[in-house]
Chains A and B, each alone.
Chain A
Amino acid sequence: MSGDAPALATVDRELGRHAPLPRDNGELVFEEPWQGRALGMGVVVLERSGAPWSEFRRHLTTAIAAHQPSESDSPATAYYTCWLAALEALLAERGLLDELP
């Protein structure tokens, strides 16, 4: 399955400079396990659904622009919160999930 996943460099290129993955000296920053799972979910959903990265990026930049960070949120928490929102928006727009919580 991982053989089908795009290389991380591809993901970086697709996300572009407006919504880069949180990093520390190159290493991806996951402060809590759910953040890594959110990233993995997004990649797998795009791969399975055939949705283009440009579509996900549009949802992600929208979510980032709309996000009101709470004071206690770290950058990684804020980013992956937006990531989840973007994934939900993409799924909703494509009618892939009609009963989001």
Chain B
Amino acid sequence: MSHQHDDHDHHHPRPASEVELRAQALEALLAERGLVSTDAIDAVVELYEQDIGPQNGARVVARAWVDDAYRGRLLTDANGAIAELGFEGTEGDNMVVVANTPSVHNMVVCTLCSCYPWPVLGLPPTWYKSPPYRARAVSEPRAVLSEFGVELDDEVEIRVWDSSAEIRYLVLPMRPSGTEGWSEAALEAIVTRDSMIGTALPAALQPASG
């Protein structure tokens, strides 16, 4: 078992632990048998460290757009309604879904840190964690929205929701006009991450394909 993984053993302040040696031995053996390669493992680790996307949230929103009963459940018991679609990981996190209407626009921030409804939205974008967003979303939400390209009429009320470890908010955007008759899958594709944070509006950009 002489295979070394110098690429990964950067600098250890202490000798490798037993389990670490066991992991290295297994990887070397698997590589020898052609079952894994270092590159394939690297690719998976890199993929998973960066990529959990907002697809789950998009499915929730699209379902709420096509199914009024589901929408009702989502707004009264978000955890239960999200679990209905089979998404795990929401236990312990109290999710609250807030719906945009013609007169109310919702946006979400975590003023303390970066609390985020990750089971439905994946990892928070960098700007969500930045001190300027965290401060300005509260002090001047309309200006922040404008910088994101969202221009709202003056009479639209902006509600800013402060996520915490106990309550995590998700915005239910309004279904854009021009999407009548679209399939749920086609609707899902236009629900962006930012539209569920409230810093963007979904738009019917592409014609529905299905």
A binds B: yes
A49 and B35 contacting across the interface, CB-CB below 8 Å: yes
Q: Does any Cβ of A come within 8 Å of B69's Cβ?
A: no
Q: In the complex where A34-B19, A84-B22, A97-B29 touch, is A45 in contact with B39 (Cβ < 8 A)?
A: no
Q: Which of A1-46 contact B (CB under 8 A)?
A: 1-2, 5, 7-9, 11-13, 16-17, 20, 23, 25-28, 30, 32-34, 36-41, 43-45
State which of B1, B9, B29, B56 has its C-beta within 8 Å of the C-beta of A9.
B56
Q: Which residues from chain B contact A41 at a C-beta distance below 8 Å?
A: 23, 26-27, 30, 36, 41
Q: Does A61 contact B (CB under 8 A)?
A: no
Task: Please classify how large the interface on chain B is, using the bins under 10, 10 to 19, 20 to 34, 35 or more.
Answer: 35 or more
| Cβ contacts under 8 Å, B147 to chain A | none
Q: Report the contact-size class of chain A (Cβ under 8 Å from the partner).
A: 35 or more
Distance A99 CA – B5 CA, assembled complex (angstroms): 21
Do A17 and B35 have beta carbons less than 8 Å apart? no
From 40 to 67 in chain B, residues with beta carbon under 8 angstroms from any chain A beta carbon are 40-49, 51-53, 55-56
Also in contact, A2 and B116, with CB within 8 A (given A16-B88, A101-B25):
no
Residues of B within 8 A of A (CB): 1, 5, 8-10, 17, 19-20, 22-27, 29-30, 33, 35-37, 39-49, 51-53, 55-56, 86-89, 91, 114-116, 118-119, 122-124
